[in-house]
């Protein structure tokens, strides 16, 4: 007999993005409600705030706008689902069992 466990979350369960530096281990949590596409936010995620290692930027290009697009889309989806559109949506997340397999 085989047992398989699946874990699901709702988009509203996602509260923050957590960045962890590969070099120094510094972590930075950014609420998904924060608008990373605003001009005031530009470049704030380019480097680790502790050791200054490149994060979302490699010095030439940056994926901060892609991250901002993700959070904007997530916030839109959360707002749509909060209005009870006639369906529910969940996201399956990888379990430790699946990682070991």
Structural domain contains residue 86 = no
Residues 22-76: tens digit of each pLDDT: 999 999 999 999 999 899 998 889 999 999 999 988 878 889 999 999 999 999 9
Sorted by sequence, the CB contacts under 8 Å of residue 63 that are 6+ apart come out as 56, 57
**Which range marks the domain in which residue 21 is found?**
10-81
Structural domain contains residue 34 = yes
pLDDT at position 99 is 60
Residue matched to tokens 């996602």: 14
The rounded distance, in Å, linking the Cα atoms of 54 and 45 is 9
Number of domains making up the chain: 1
| Residue 98 pLDDT greater than 60, yes or no | no
Sorted by sequence, the CB contacts under 8 Å of residue 49 that are 6+ apart come out as 26, 28
Structural domain contains residue 74 = yes
Cβ burial, residue 86 (10 Å; 0-12/13-18/19+): exposed
Structural domain contains residue 71 = yes
């Amino acid at each position: 007999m085989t047992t398989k466990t699946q874990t699901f979350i709702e988009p509203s369960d996602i509260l923050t993005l957590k960045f962890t530096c590969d070099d120094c281990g510094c972590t930075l949590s950014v609420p998904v409600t924060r608008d990373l596409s605003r001009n005031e936010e530009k470049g704030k995620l380019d480097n680790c705030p502790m050791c200054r290692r490149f994060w979302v930027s490699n010095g030439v290009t940056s994926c901060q706008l892609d991250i901002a697009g993700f959070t904007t889309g997530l916030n839109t989806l959360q707002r749509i689902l909060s209005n009870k559109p006639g369906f529910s949506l969940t996201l399956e997340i990888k379990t430790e069992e699946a990682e070991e397999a």
